[in-house]
Amino acid sequence: MTLIEELKWRGLLHDIMPGTEELIAQEQVKAYVGFDPKADSLHIGNLVPIMSLVHWQRAGHPPIAPVGGDTGMV
């Protein structure tokens, strides 16, 4: 099962840009998810992107998940 098939099967992916599946099959692609540094804590709404990054990493792609001041500046 490919990464895209896995994410769709789990309900973590609804739509995708044309050519993305071919790109990630050919080379490593970084995935980025930033979290709000002003929040009191992470919550259940953060779990979906975190789990997506876990699947991304297991497929051999580097995940990026910054938490802190730089994320608030983006």
In angstroms, rounded to a whole number, what is the distance separating the alpha carbons of residues 49 and 10?
A: 12
pLDDT of residue 18: 95
Q: Which residues of 15-41 are buried (b: 16+ CB within 10 A; e: fewer)?
A: eeeeeeeeebeeeeeebebeeeeeeee
Between these two residues, 40 and 74, which has the higher pLDDT value? 40
**CA-based torsion, 52, 58, 61, 67: positive or negative:** positive
For residue range 16-35, list pLDDT tens digits in order: 999 999 999 999 999 988 77
pLDDT of residue 12: 86
Between these two residues, 9 and 66, which has the higher pLDDT value? 9
Residue 71 pLDDT > 60 = no
Cα→Cα distances 9→34, 44, 56, Å: 24, 20, 14
